[in-house]
Each structure stands twice: as C-alpha cells, then as structure tokens.
Amino acid sequence: MNWLTPAMVDLLVEGFSETLVMVGASAAIAVALGLPLALLLHATGPGGLSPRPWMNRPLGLLVNAVRSTPFIILMVAIVPFTRLVAGTSIGTGAAVVPLALAATAFLARLFENALREVEPGVIEAARAMGATRMQIVTKVLVPEALPGLIAATTVALVSLVGFSAMAGAVGGGGLGDLGIRFGYQRFMPEVMLTVVLVLILFVQGLQSLGDWLVRRLSRR
Amino acid sequence: MAAIALSRLSKRFAPGAPPALEEVSLEIAPGEVFGIVGRSGAGKSTLIRCVNLLERPDSGRVEVLGQDLMSLDEAALRAARRGMGMVFQHFNLHARRTVAENVAFPLEVAGMARAERERRVAELLPLVGLEAKRDAYPAQLSGGQKQRVGIARALASGPRILLCDEATSALDPETTAEILALIRDLRARLDLTVLLITHEMAVVKSVCDRVAVMEAGRVIEEGPVFDVFTRPTQPTTRRFVAEVIGHSVPPGTLSRLPQPGPGEARRLVQVLFAGPHSTRAVVSEASRDFDVDMNIVSGRVDEIAGEPFGVMALAAYGAPDKLEGALGWMRSLGLHVTELGEAA
Ligand SMILES: Nc1ncnc2c1ncn2[C@@H]1O[C@H](COP(=O)(O)OP(=O)(O)O)[C@@H](O)[C@H]1O
Ligand SMILES: [Mg+2]
C-alpha cells in the first residue's frame, strides 16, 4: 500500500467529490427538466390528457435524437453551447452541461414510461370526480407514479456515474479521470483498481438507496 | 322531471367504424335503480360515460337533473360531475393513498378544507362498513372492500346520482350480492338515482327497478324488470333472461321422457307463473278438467324485483284436442306458455 500516500488520498477525495458534483448537479438539472418534459410527452401523446400529435411528435423526435447520439459525440458537438452556458468548455462545471443534457433526454423517456404505468382508470376516476387537468397531474399522475419516477432516477444516476467518467477524460476531473491518468498513463494499476472499487461501491449505494425508497413508497 | 334524460345519443369512435351508440334515448326517474344490460361491446360503458361526458356523443342531448350538460363550459361541467358519483369495475383506487385519503379525494379536488374533509370521511366510512380500514392501503383490501371504498368515494361529495359501470363484475357472487345490497340500501337512505351497467342479468334481477337491453349500440328492449323478465320480446333479451331463470331443460332429460301412447300426443311446454295465478294449482286443475297427464320436468320459484315468479317445464300427454284445450286454459289465466319443441 505504499502508493496510498496522503497526496494520493487527497487526489482520490478530490476525484470523488468532482464525480459527486458532476453526477449530482446534472441529475438535479435532468430531473427538473425531464419531469416537465415527460409530463408534456405524456399529456400530448395518444390517449393523454390533451392529445396534440403536432407537439408530441417533434418533441419525441428531439428526445430520441439526443438519446441516440453517443455521449462522447454529444459532448464535442455541443461545445459552443457549453461555452455559452458555463463560460468554458473544460472542467467539472463545463462537464455538467452535456451530462445534464444527455440525462434530461434519458430521464424524460424513463419518466414518461413511469407515468404510463399509472392505471388509466385512476385518471378516468379523477376526471369523473371533476378534477382539473392540473389536479390530475399533481394529485394523481405524479404521486401514483412516484415509485416508478424514483426507480427511473436511480437508473439515470447510475448511468451518469459512467458518463461522468467519460466527461472526466476531456477535462472534467472526477474519479474516472483519476483512474485513467494514474492507473493507465502512469502505470499505477492499484490506483485504477481503487477507483473502480470506489465506483462500484458508489453505484451499489445509489442502487440500494433507490430500491429502498421505491419499496417504501409503493403500496402494492 | 327525469333525473337523467338521454335523447338520441349517437357515437362513433372512428369514421366508418360501427356505431358504439346509435340514437339511444332513455329517461331515468329520480330515485330509481335503472339497469342497462348487454353483451360485451354493446356500448354500455360508452353510454354511461356519456352521462357525465367522460365521452362526448357525436350528437344528441344529455340532461342531468334538468341541466343540459353538452352546453356547459369546462368549469361548469366539472361542477356538474361533482354532483354525480361513479363506481368502476376495477375500482380505480389510488394505490398510494389510504382508504381515508381515497375517499377524501373528490373533496380535495373540490377544495374542501382538511378538517372538514376528515369529518366527512368519518361520516362516510361507517356507511360502507369500513371504519376499521381507514388507514389501510388498497392492496391490503379484498375486492369487496375495495369496491366499498369506491362507493364511499363516489358518494363523498353528496351526489344525487350514482353511476355504476360493471361495479360487481370483478367480484365473486357472494361479494356481488353484498355490494348490490349496499347499493340498494344507500339508494334508499341517501335518496339516490342509480344508473347501473352490467352484463349479468342476475344483477339486474336483484337490484334494478327498470332495465334497458342494449345490442350493437342500440336499446332493443326496455321496461320494468319484472315485465322484461317475464315477457321478453327480443331474442337477445330471451337469452339474457334464460341465464337467470334457466328454463332450458337438458336434452338428455327430454329424450328420456316417455313417448305418447296410441291416440295420444305429447307437448313440451314451458309455463311462466307470474302475477295473481302464480300460486294456483294449475297443473292438477288442468289434468283433472282436461283429462291430460302432466309430467313436471323441471321447475323453480324465484323472486324478481320483489315479485314471486315461477317457471316450469311440462311434458303433457293426452288427446290432441284436450291438450290444446288445457294449454289454452292456462294461457287464459295469464300464464305464459311457450312451446319447448320436441327434442331429438
Ligand atoms: N375509446 C374507444 N376507442 C375506440 N373504440 C371504442 C372506445 N371505447 C369503446 N369502443 C368501441 O365501442 C364499442 C362499445 O364499447 P363499450 O361501450 O365499451 O361496450 P360495453 O361496455 O358494452 O362492453 C366497442 O365496439 C368498442 O370496441
Ligand atoms: Mg363496459
């Protein structure tokens, strides 16, 4: 363990906190943007609360386009946009922009699926009881879909951990970056191994937390 | 004034598709339990969904408690919907709300304050016998209990009208009987008008005052339940009625009946006893007065909409003119005598 110097520990801690920032910030943005997007997709879709094909189709296409672009290409392709938003195209802050964009599209679809799992009958009952569309969204759709929404967020968080490692490779920092710089470029396989172990534990933790929440929230 | 007046409702879900509703007109009087029966796909759900405009008919008029619903804007329509409770086949409860929270939902939607909601829920749960389950979640309830929650929820905002779409179709026969008894009881206590849809004639028989039979989007027969059961005019209605009062005789039984002797004829008939003569000793009188032999193949007594009612399958033997006379005499008493025909 002679490689685990205080300096290396500092690097690991720093890498982990950068990963946390990238994953946390982009997930927060993705949830904030992805949920309204999913609600819009759900409402305007066939059989939705207010079907509007002219709105639903382009929106769906856009989401799919972002989702099907490989992340590494997306990251490079939106550099001008990243600069506009973050003021720079390198560093942890800049990495959040493409991560958030990719995660928003990803989550919008996952959220939409979770909303579709809500029994149409429950929505119909709410309509029969004189609920407004807004009440149906806030009092029926979202609360009933909550376990599914949480499960989707967990999936997104786990994927974000992986994507953030890629973002690290282009100057975003984080654990992935650390692993590549020390483990690969400086031939320190122990560092690579440590990084991988930390990432595995982190992902496991996220997944367990997510599963626990879903279990607690669903009343089936 | 009718509680619900539907006039000439037509609905087609797609151009060129067969109509889900075709010129359906019905009037439901205040306080009655009105049943609509029909096979799956007959248009029953579409019809009941037109009453609160969950489905908008292509043409026609929907009047509830004197209000023309089609002319209302969205806000007024929502208010009108709060005056009608609806109960569903699959209960449609919120899985993540407790019993009390489910029942409170329509009150919440109407903007009632929490304290008042809780007071109201505390009144409603005993009505359906679920006080002990107030904090349970739907997954912890039996089907019958879930439907009780559905009924309490439908009644929460104090509606005058209760719409039930196959409310008992997901329940076993015993639970069905319980829920129907509850609906009848609540109808009387809360002065409700009930429109009830079902594919089971047994439900109509036990709970409805009047019934309409639907087929292919149209009402093909309509009337007081007792009349429709005892004097069905349409083949579809006859089949429905047969489900409940089961007048068919197994072919094996018919083939084992003795053949008529020389100079004799045999007639197989079904006799419906209803009204004043339902308790008269018709069979023995007929055999005595007309010199015929009557073999009772099957028979049962039942009650429809609270009136006694019997059905009997008879094999009658005798001289052809005597047989004719006996059956004619039975008809003259107001009994419904129909030929069962000869089984091969
Ligand atoms: N939302 C819908 N879209 C298209 N067709 C429908 C819809 N709802 C009902 N139908 C059709 O209308 C007819 C009547 O259906 P429904 O009213 O549900 O019948 P029932 O309740 O008597 O079984 C059926 O042929 C059904 O397929
Ligand atoms: Mg139906």
Are B78 and A130 an interchain contact pair (Cβ–Cβ within 8 Å)?
yes
Pocket test for ligand 1, best of B40, B46, B196 (most atoms within 8 A of CB): B46
Q: A95: domain CATH number?
A: 1.10.3720.10
Number of Cβ within 10 Å of residue B205's Cβ equals 25
Residue B272 vs residue A162, higher pLDDT: A162
What pLDDT digit, counting tens, does each position of A69-84 carry?
999 899 999 999 999 9
Please tell me the distance from the alpha carbon of residue B29 to that of residue B3, in angstroms, as a whole number.
5
User: What phi, psi does B270 have (nearest 5°)?
Assistant: -115, 135
Give B139 Cα–ligand 2 centroid separation in angstroms: 24
For residue B276, name the pLDDT band (cuts at 50, 70, 90): low
Q: Is the CB of B13 under 6 A from ligand 1?
A: yes
What pLDDT digit, counting tens, does each position of A88-139 carry?
888 888 999 999 999 999 999 999 999 999 999 999 999 999 999 999 999 9
Query: Sign of the C-alpha dihedral, residues A173, A178, A179, A184?
Result: positive
* Confidence at residue B343, expressed as pLDDT on a 0 to 100 scale: 39
For residue B130, name the pLDDT band (cuts at 50, 70, 90): very high
Instruction: Label residue A34 exposed, middle or buried (CB < 10 Å: 0-12, 13-18, 19+).
Output: buried
Residue B196 vs residue B230, higher pLDDT: B196
Is residue A154 within 8 A of residue A110, CB to CB? The reply is no
Give B185 Cα–ligand 2 centroid separation in angstroms: 24
Residue A62 domain-assigned (yes or no): yes
Percent of chain B with pLDDT over 90: 64
Pocket test for ligand 1, best of B11, B45, B197 (most atoms within 8 A of CB): B45
- Give the ipTM of the model, two decimals please: 0.88
What pLDDT digit, counting tens, does each position of B19-75 carry?
999 999 999 999 999 999 999 999 999 999 999 999 999 999 999 999 999 999 999
Residue B48 Cα: closest atom of ligand 1: 17
Q: Which of A121, A122, A128 sits opposite B52 (nearest CB)?
A: A128
Residue A183 domain-assigned (yes or no): yes
Give B41 Cα–ligand 2 centroid separation in angstroms: 7
* Confidence at residue B103, expressed as pLDDT on a 0 to 100 scale: 97
Are A219 and B84 an interchain contact pair (Cβ–Cβ within 8 Å)?
no
* Confidence at residue A169, expressed as pLDDT on a 0 to 100 scale: 67
Report pTM.
0.87
Give B48 Cα–ligand 2 centroid separation in angstroms: 9
Q: Which domains does chain B have, with CATH numbers?
A: 4-244 (3.40.50.300), 253-339 (3.30.70.260)
Average pLDDT over residues B253-264: 83
Residue B14 Cα: closest atom of ligand 1: 4
Task: Kindly state the tokens that stand for B107.
Answer: 């009150």
Residue A31 domain-assigned (yes or no): yes
For residue B247, name the pLDDT band (cuts at 50, 70, 90): low
Q: Which of A124, A127, A144 sits opposite B96 (nearest CB)?
A: A144
**Mutation for testing the A interface, residue in B94, B107, B147, B157 having most A CBs under 10 Å:** B94
For residue B191, pLDDT over 80 is answered with yes
Task: Kindly state the tokens that stand for B201.
Answer: 């004639």
Residue A1 domain-assigned (yes or no): no
Q: Is the CB of B204 under 6 A from ligand 1?
A: no
Residue A214 domain-assigned (yes or no): yes
Residue A210 domain-assigned (yes or no): yes
For residue B277, pLDDT over 80 is answered with no
In terms of CA atoms, which chain A residue is nearest residue B49?
Answer: A128
Average pLDDT over residues A137-156: 96
Which residue range(s) make up the domain with A32?
6-219
Residue A131 domain-assigned (yes or no): yes
- The whole-chain average pLDDT of chain B stands at 90
DSSP string, A137-199: IIIIIHHHHHHHHHHHHHHHHHHHHHHHHHHIIIII-SHHHHIIIIIIIT--HHHHHHHHHHH
Please tell me the distance from the alpha carbon of residue B7 to that of residue B26, in angstroms, as a whole number.
7
Strand partners, B21: B11
Are A132 and B137 an interchain contact pair (Cβ–Cβ within 8 Å)?
no
Number of helical (H) and strand (E) elements in chain B, helices listed first: 12, 14
Are B81 and A127 an interchain contact pair (Cβ–Cβ within 8 Å)?
yes
Are B157 and A129 an interchain contact pair (Cβ–Cβ within 8 Å)?
yes
Strands laid side by side in the B84-88 sheet:
B84-88, B161-165, B193-198, B33-38, B210-215, B218-224
What pLDDT digit, counting tens, does each position of B163-189 carry?
999 999 999 999 999 999 999 999 999
Q: Is the CB of B41 under 6 A from ligand 1?
A: yes
Which segments of B160-262 does DSSP mark as H helices, in order? 173-190, 201-207, 225-230, 235-245, 251-255
* Confidence at residue B269, expressed as pLDDT on a 0 to 100 scale: 87
Average pLDDT over residues B235-248: 78
For residue A183, pLDDT over 90 is answered with no
Task: Kindly state the tokens that stand for B295.
Answer: 């073999």
Residue A133 domain-assigned (yes or no): yes
How many structural domains is chain A composed of?
1
For residue B341, pLDDT over 70 is answered with no
Question: Which residue type is seen at B224?
Answer: P
Angle formed at CA A58 by CA A54 and CA A62, multiple of 5 degrees: 165
Number of Cβ within 10 Å of residue B1's Cβ equals 9
Residue B105 vs residue B235, higher pLDDT: B105
Place of tokens 């429809």: B304
Which residues 35-94 of B are in CB contact (within 8 Å) with A?
52, 54, 78-82, 84, 86, 88, 90-94
Place of tokens 């047994």: B202
Q: Is the CB of B20 under 6 A from ligand 1?
A: yes
Q: Which residues of B119-157 are buried (b: 16+ CB within 10 A; e: fewer)?
A: ebbeebbebbebeebbebbbeebebbbbbbbbbbbbbbb
User: What phi, psi does B90 have (nearest 5°)?
Assistant: -100, 25
Average pLDDT over residues B88-95: 96
Chain A interface, Cβ < 8 Å to B: 119, 121-122, 124-132, 135, 139-140, 143-144, 146-147, 217-220
Which residues 120-139 of B are in CB contact (within 8 Å) with A?
137-139
